[in-house]
Amino acid sequence: MFYQKQLLAKHIVTIWLKAGEKVMSWIDWLIVVVPLTIIAIVGFRTQKHVNSVAEFMAGGRLGGRYLVCNAKGEAGMAVISMVAGFELFHEAGFTIAWWQKMTVPLGLFIALTGYIIYRYRETRVMTLAQFFEVRYSRNFRLFAGMLAFLSGVINYGIFPAVSSRFFVYFCGFPQSLDFSCFEVPTYVVIMLIYLTLALTMSLTGGQLTIMITDCLEGLLSLIMFLCIITALLIMFDWSQIQSVMSAAPPGKSMLNPFDIGKAKDFNIWYVLIGMIGSVYGVMAWQGSHAFNSCAKNAHEAKMGAILGTWRSSTKTLVVFLLAICAITFLNHPDFAAQSVHVQEVLNKIADPQIQTQMRMPVAISLMLPVAIKGMFCAIMLFGLLACDSSYLHSWGSIFIQDIVLPLKKKPLTPKQHINLLRTAIVGVAIFGFCFSLLFRQTEYILMFFALTGAIFVGGAGSVIAGGLYWKKGTAAGAWAAMLAGSSLAVGGIVLQQCWKTLYPWLCKFLPNLSFIVDSPNKFPVNGQYMYFWAMVSAIVLYVIVSLLTCKKDFNMDKMLHRGEYALPDDKVKNEFAKRWTWGSIIGIDRNFTTGDKAISISVFSWTMFWWVVFVIVTIWNVFSPWPISWWGTYWHYYAIIIPLIVGVITTVWFVYGGIHDLRELYRDLKVYKSDAHDDGTVSNEEEKVLPDNYINFVESEEETETEPKPYPGKPSKMD
């Protein structure tokens, strides 16, 4: 009898999990609304702690490692990133994930050594362009700030449209709403609603509110991830998945990474360029720049980045599993009766690019059952608000901090300063709304990201690394690098938008150039290639021009607050061991506790193990190719089973750590003393008395014999 009841219960669960609906049920909406309301209340309550620019811009620099890790991880869980990931997987399957393993040593080096992250935090600046003024000049700060803002808002411009359309098709809303005398597309209404919510998060308490609410959303998302994964593993059998993934045509395999010769956009070159960019562009993209300065100190920022390696495993598993299950749902005979509704929905979309974007979200909506659908919708809404609030805050604050304030002659009170920041944040939201209404997207989302990001990152990568690690880097070299990188990227965007107009004219004058003639619909050089050439040009020009113009080595110790310039309130030891040790290979220094060492060693060992597997299997396949069934088994264990086990452990680990850091943050806020002068500006007023944790650099690069002795932590002039 007990066995029969057990079978009946399992049968009921299976029927429930396979019973997808076209629209959200009241249970789904309850799962979405209740936690969102709680998070909103917590966010509003943090406003009372925001009394200065430091809290609004950098959360008072009070973030613990788990708080920063969870919050930043959730800010990266954007709806548009998920849709872009689905686009990528639909075109390339697991094959890109295989070749991306080439980047493992580079990613490990960045995470464990604190490359860029550590030194940037040591400068104690609030924005990247502030660092540019400290390191180069005020004029370069203005130019870089304008470029970062332009690149950022254009990149963000498609976020509202893509995200809103996702919710239209996922939730089963009608494509338009009739308001008696006129008709409005539903995605436009959703844009207005969700941008209002994101603005609320950004405006109430700035980065302090964003940091806390993002962390809470991240903790809830981790738990919901496991529920969704469990449901999908019950609904879909691996044999169903493998049969669909194995059916891809030759040259475009979704399982065998050695059979992708006919892939056009997402191929080995896409990975190689991304690998170079992963090192070149560390911290260059400023979409969530406040997270780079909100940690308690440089060591906590470094540990947050290291922990992010473990936290990301569950998120990656969810993206993979949802994508392969959606593809199986669309193509396997067992789901033919249900999947037919997907095409019915897609046929109503006129734009082919939007059809491609929405294919996977529509399939996921129709295949997920009650409650699980609500959890996924909640996760997407959390990620949407976390990412967009961070982006609005980032681009709005960059506009004020790096463009407006350097031009103002009179100082602002903290209240005036914060209100100005809030006004700019609202302006970014308005721009995003208008851009989404007018812009015609012609490329995959990831290609659009690469191209628009290159407007700034294409030149900034060399300027950041050179400024933090090379004492011979000069302002002239920085100008040359930034101008080269941005010019190539902007040129690529213009060509993409005007290609159909230019194409007939180009064919007329260059009829024998197949490179052009064979591409009538879009510019033949995709965003990833344009990004590559922007990087190469910037590096070459930065080095050459700096060597030609460097008259005196830059004083790095003064900028990084090391040695005689160390700050008395900084608990992190800036003295580094001069002896070589095994620990130094993976970034372990004197600030590491026993637990910190264990975390770093575990990350290093785990990732290097899989990288060694990658090398061995790659060599094996060069001489003796695996059959497709072997690849199916490999991906089953590597991409599904093992990450699930890791995900269960890390969910408990990071939920506990996140709650601990949140409690500690609120304790610190009770005794935190606001500093009105800590506002991210770089002042030339020598007589202005500033606290030890404030940087005050004078723009002049010349040093005189009569110069007064600098105040600790506040050098009067940069050498």
443-491 pLDDT, tens digit per residue, is: 667 667 776 777 777 788 888 888 888 888 888 999 998 888 878 777 7
Read off the amino acid at residue 548: L
Phi, psi of 286, deg, nearest 5 = -105, 25
Three-state DSSP class for 297?
coil
**Residue 397 amino acid letter:** S
* Predicted local confidence at residue 703, as pLDDT: 35
Confidence at 545, pLDDT banded by 50, 70, 90: very high
To the nearest 10°, report the CA torsion of 474, 289, 676, 300: -100
Quick one: pLDDT band at residue 344, thresholds 50, 70, 90?
confident
If you average pLDDT over every residue of the chain, what do you get?
79
Tokens found for residue 390: 């961070």
Q: 141 pairs with which residues across the strands? A: none
Out of 96-105, 414-423, 609-618, 638-647, pick the least confident.
96-105
Q: Residue 351: CB partners within 8 Å, gap ≥ 6?
A: none
* Predicted local confidence at residue 624, as pLDDT: 92
pLDDT score recorded for residue 572: 52
pLDDT digits (tens, 9 = 90+) for 694-715: 333 333 333 333 333 332 333 3
How confident is the model over 258-284, as a mean pLDDT? 70
Q: What is the DSSP string of 667-714?
A: HHHHH----TT-SS-----TT----TT-----S-----TTPPPPBTTB
DSSP annotation of 564 reads G
Higher pLDDT, 703 or 79: 79
Percent of the chain with pLDDT strictly greater than 90: 15
pLDDT band at residue 602 using 50, 70 and 90 as cut-offs: confident
CA–CA–CA angle 101, 102, 105 (5° rounding) = 95
CA separation for the pair 105, 118 (Å, rounded)? 18
- Each as own residue / partner, the long-range contacts of residues 336-344 (CB below 8 Å, 24 or more positions apart, any chain) are 338/20, 338/366, 338/367, 339/363, 339/366, 339/367, 341/22, 341/366, 342/366
Q: SS3 string of 258-290? A: CCCCCCCCCCHHHHHHHHHHHHHCCCCCCCCHH
Residue 684 has pLDDT above 70, yes or no: no
**Tokens representing 204?**
């109430």
State the distance between the two ends of the chain, measured CA to CA, in whole angstroms: 84
Q: Give me the pLDDT at residue 457, please.
A: 77
Q: Are 453 and 177 in contact (CB under 8 A)?
A: no
Cα–Cα dist 169/175, whole Å = 8
Residue 98 pLDDT > 70, yes or no? Answer: yes
Going by pLDDT thresholds of 50, 70 and 90, the confidence category of residue 570 is: low
Q: Which helix (H) or strand (E) holds 381?
A: helix 372-399
Return the higher-pLDDT residue of 430 and 443.
430
**What is the pTM (predicted TM-score) of this model?**
0.76
Residue 176 bridge partners (DSSP)? 185
Q: Please give the average per-residue pLDDT across 94-112, as a whole number.
A: 75
Residue whose C-alpha is closest to residue 302's, from 287, 285, 282: 282
Pairwise CA distance, residues 469 & 119, whole Å:
9
Beta-carbon neighbour count of residue 316 at 10 Å?
A: 14
**What pLDDT sits at residue 445?**
72
Both tokens assigned to 59: 């959360």
Q: Which residue has the tokens 């944790």?
A: 693
Q: Rounded to the nearest 10 degrees, how much is the dihedral formed by the CA atoms of 389, 392, 397, 400?
A: -150
- Could you give the CA distance from residue 613 to residue 621 in angstroms, rounded to a whole number? 12
pLDDT at 123: 82
Place of tokens 């220094």: 589
- Could you read off the pLDDT of 142-175 as tens digits, one per residue? 888 888 888 888 888 888 888 888 898 888 888 8
Phi, psi torsion values for 663, nearest 5 degrees: -65, -40
Q: Are 399 and 432 in contact (CB under 8 A)?
A: no
pLDDT for residue 719 is more than 50: no
* SS3 letters across 441-453: CCCCHHHHHHHHH
Q: How many CB atoms lie within 10 A of CB 318?
A: 24
Of residues 8 and 682, the one with the higher pLDDT is 682
Q: Which alpha helices (H) appear in 407-519, and where do they start and end?
A: 414-438, 445-469, 475-509, 514-517
Give the Cα separation of 478 and 462 in Å (integer). 8
Q: Which residue did the predictor score with more confidence, 564 or 5?
A: 564
| Segment among 235-249, 342-356, 599-613, 623-637 with least mean pLDDT | 342-356
Measured CA angle at 717 (ends 714, 719), to 5 deg? 120
Q: Where are the domains of the chain?
A: 444-575, 683-719
The whole-number pLDDT of residue 112 equals: 67
Amino acid at 175: Q
Residue range 645-656: mean pLDDT, rounded: 92
Query: In this structure, what DSSP letter does residue 157 have?
Result: T
> What is the C-alpha to C-alpha distance for residues 283 and 301, in angstroms, rounded to an integer?
12
Those residues with Cβ within 8 angstroms of residue 531's Cβ, 6 or more apart along the chain or in another chain: 273, 277, 450, 451, 453, 454, 457, 458, 489
Residues in the chain: 719
Give the residue-averaged pLDDT of 50-73: 85
Q: Do residues 695 and 134 make contact, with C-beta atoms less than 8 angstroms apart?
A: yes
Q: How far apart are CA 579 and CA 401, in angstroms?
A: 41
- Residue range 307-336: average pLDDT? 86
Read off the pLDDT of residues 349-396 as tens digits, 9 standing for 90 and up.
777 777 877 888 888 888 899 899 999 999 989 988 888 888 898 888
